[in-house]
């Protein structure tokens, strides 16, 4: 994705917010943090949650984290959070506060998030 894609996605998400209680975006995890941060800044204050999630392995594989991440995203998408978030490895991160290094591994994410938000 490139900046033009972020703007197009942000427009589509903003236009769809009135139709749903929250929106889950299934996303590859390699640049998930970067894209969540960009969307968080582009969308600004939100009336409903927008949640990005991905997985290490495809949903169709037997041993995958995709199912758990998708369920977590749906739970957060139905919650009262009104911002862009990322769910991954049982962790919920604020989209604007996430960076690529924090999405590398769940243990590193937890430590970075604890330091960023005491």
d(CA 41, CA 45): 9
Residue 85 belongs to what H/E stretch? strand 84-88
- Please say if the pLDDT value at position 30 is more than 70: no
Confidence at residue 99, expressed as pLDDT on a 0 to 100 scale: 60
Among residues 90, 73, 64, which one has the least CA distance to residue 21? Answer: 73
Confidence at residue 50, expressed as pLDDT on a 0 to 100 scale: 92
Among residues 82, 26, 4, which one has the least CA distance to residue 50? Answer: 82
User: pLDDT averaged over the chain?
Assistant: 77
Higher-pLDDT residue of 30, 86: 86
d(CA 71, CA 31): 20
End-to-end CA distance of the chain: 32
pLDDT, tens digit, for every residue of 47-83?
A: 999 998 877 777 788 888 888 888 888 888 777 788 8
């Amino acid at each position: 994705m490139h900046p033009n894609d972020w703007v197009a996605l942000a427009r589509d998400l903003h236009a769809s917010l009135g139709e749903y209680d929250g929106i889950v975006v299934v996303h590859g995890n390699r640049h998930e943090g970067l894209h969540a941060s960009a969307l968080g800044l582009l969308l600004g204050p939100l009336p409903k949650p927008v949640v990005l999630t991905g997985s290490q392995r495809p949903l169709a594989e037997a041993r995958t984290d995709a199912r758990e991440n998708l369920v977590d995203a749906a739970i957060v998408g139905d919650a009262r959070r009104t911002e862009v978030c990322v769910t991954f490895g049982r962790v919920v991160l604020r989209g604007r506060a996430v960076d690529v290094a924090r999405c590398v591994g769940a243990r590193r994410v937890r430590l970075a998030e604890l330091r960023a938000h005491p």
